[in-house]
Structure 1
């Protein structure tokens, strides 16, 4: 940002929902060298440490929170309290929920929207154009960009080549082959698994989104969920079948039980690119040795075009209330595009195209992965199914409230599917959406 622009902003004061400035919002009065408050989850702390090393003169107040994980709504709840108080907002927030732009872009009782517009003059067009095609779509409301994607989270089929070779199995490419493999694995090698249903993000984003099931859709202000549609029913029946034969565990992939039970026993699993660092290369998780893990074609229904899910990835939001626009812009650009974080330290596929190219090359040439890892992951980035929605509530909350407890109690997903659908529709109505019958 030009120095002259910062000087011009210094006399501005906040107002409820105005957008009188050249940036599409009314900035607060700027305070030179004002410390900025940054909220991150534990996984993003390396990004902040890298930033502090690069920019030691920018003062940060770093606060760690749950990252709004599993649709906890902690981000929105906290911001609403600050809106009521008229002060206290953080300057930058990382959220695991890409749908947060739907509420963060709106006024709250006359208070200016928390998320600042980024493509109305504040951030350079050349920088914004550097994100992968479609990466900023979930954060774009009526043509205005309200956040920056941290990483893309396309799913692939992760496989352990050493185990596949040992068992003499063929790597599946379709959901049908995956289910057939589960019966073979259950009969011949009980105790080995092909995935987990113990997390809402896996159930919703990996399986139902990857199955192109219309259970979470938004068109305009209308929400639709149809758990009885063909692809929804097929996925429900497949999951129930694999839970019953023991090849899908009920344990969360982030639980200690998962690691204790299945370290060395995960034959394969569909999952996001960020499983690379979160599970496979993580010393505290599966910690699979180099030369065993590969990325296979995203699973899809036989005869249908590939349509993978987008499993989070996360978003950085800049506050419209910040008193240090220059520092916020510097941080936002660094954490999303800098090689110092996105290439050297990040565990997921960067949303920023130039960083992604370097990240994938580093992963592919590091000797850890087997097979055509690079091409598979890059292709999957462009195969995310566009039929999923981004309303002002998370896809994970209804699943967590209805489906996960049912699975844990030994019930089938099919038995609670109507209640699950109704829960999502209830959430939509509370948020002001028209619900499709």
Structure 2
């Protein structure tokens, strides 16, 4: 779920394959687990064949077993071609070479744009995907759509929530913040009570930054086709920048990178007291911070305006079908099976956070108690967050590259006198220049 990108020139964004969709009208009635679509999907399942899936998400292993059991004539090969950026590079190389591409590929939401703008993934609407709109929660569904097309199916989601160490807050008599202004006050109170305690950690993270800007109402990215606008000076972005700058100026944020050994230690001993992150985080706390079981709780994300319920997504992936896929109908059948119905439910049971409305609203899901959080029914908070995600957010069609230069621009605000607003302005300029160099029409 976390994004680690290295700086690399992501050219060849306009990779295009000559293969076209050969779909006929009408088709399955949905009784076999697939939505109504071309007749040849049902025929392809009956005929059988091989489907190669590139993905790193561990819960897909059980999905593959279940799919092959349901459709014994289909052989699914699950390949880990690398996590995130490494797989995207391998996929783009295969597409450019004209061989070696998988039939299905896991693609994080922020990265999907570079494949849709390059016309290298199938529009799944003709296969029946458009009829699945109500099957998914708004945030993930919006992330896989462009214009009238559906270019992947949501696999999971990351509506944000506020994870806090109740033991630390209780010890120092600090109230759990419900607004970001209260968050700053809580940061001051905790650090004053114990200089070893910080409200959170941050050394600069593109995903976390854009998610909090999203929640604040900022919309720095606007993209339609090859026309792109980037503006990190809108009102929502300024709200985020002003608040986070206070925390940095007053040294109230631990200068520790997420997912490091020091980070896990801080979460365990209480010196890092909160996390504002996606709803997929519980499994990471349970496995990586086991010694703090019972200390942590979950609350709604603090609000920029008291009384609001705004949220945003942080992380999450989809399954896409490359245009170079050899078995498109089988690929779509697997993609739908893995993201809806039985496939989605088995993944949720294994710890994935659902992008499907049915799973998110089920009594079993909502009533699940988390021993790690003292028996709290945390899924109720996550589900409420998912319902409050604004759906008008968009990423750049080259967000993978933009994120890779975040530390070269915004990251300077964490290690030098450079202000966050200056870092964001530099990130904006770097992103504009890159986009223009790649042939996009880019402005502010």
Shift of 1:149: 0.9
Distance 1:59 1:225 in 2: 44
| Distance (whole Å) between structure 1 residues aligned to residue 133 and residue 51 of structure 2 | 22
Match of 1:404 among 404, 407, 411: 411
**Contact 2:64–2:76 at 8 Å: present in 1 too?**
no
- The whole-number CA distance in structure 2 between the counterparts of 1:80 and 1:418 is 29
State the secondary structure of the residue aligned to 2:253.
Answer: coil
Q: Which residue of 2 aligns with 1:274?
A: 280
* 1:64 alignment partner, one of 80, 98, 111: 80
- Pair 272,330 (structure 1): closer, same or farther in 2 beyond 3 Å: same
**Deviation (angstroms), 1:314:** 1.0
- Measured after TM superposition, the shift of residue 88 of structure 1 is 1.5
CA distance in 2, matches of 1:368, 1:315: 28
Change (3 A) 1:344 1:271: same
Q: How many angstroms does 1:182 deviate by?
A: 0.9
> Secondary structure at the residue paired with 1:93?
strand
Q: Please give the residue correspondences for 1:188-207 in structure 2 after superposition, counting only pairs within 5 Å.
A: 188-198=193-203, 200-207=205-212
CA drift of 1:203 comes to 3.3
| Alignment partner, residue 163 of structure 1 | 168
What's the counterpart of residue 78 of structure 1? 90
Extract unaligned runs of 5+ from structure 2. Answer: 1-15, 26-36
Matched, 1:318 2:321: yes
Corresponding residue SS for 1:263: helix
Q: Distance in 2 between matches of 1:37 and 1:318?
A: 10
CA displacement at 1:273 relative to structure 2: 0.7
CA RMSD in angstroms, aligned pairs only: 3.4
1:413 is aligned to: 420
C-alpha distance in structure 2 between counterparts of 1:401 and 1:74, whole Å: 23
Asked whether the 8 Å contact 2:344–2:356 carries over to 1, the reply is no
Matches within 5 A, 1:184-223: 184-198=189-203, 200-218=205-223, 221-223=226-228
1:365 aligns with 2:369: yes
Distance 1:292 1:336, change over 3 A: farther
Counterparts of 2:81 and 2:413, CA distance in 1: 28
What are the ranges of 5 or more consecutive residues in structure 1 without an aligned counterpart?
1-13
Deviation string, structure 1 residues 162-215 (Cα, Å, up to 9, x no partner): 222222111111111111111111111222232232352443233222222333
- Give the SS at the match of 2:323: coil
Pick closer, same or farther for the CA change 1:380–1:270 going to 2, 3 Å.
Answer: same
Q: Does 1:36 align with 2:51?
A: yes
TM-score, scaled relative to structure 2: 0.79
Asked whether the 8 Å contact 1:34–1:323 carries over to 2, the reply is: no
Following the alignment from structure 2 to structure 1, what is the Cα–Cα distance between the partners of residues 382 and 201? Answer: 21
Partner of 1:21: 23
User: Post-superposition shift, 1:92?
Assistant: 1.0
Contact 1:119 1:144 in 2 (8 A): yes
Contact kept, 8 Å, 1:191 with 1:247, in 2: the verdict is: no
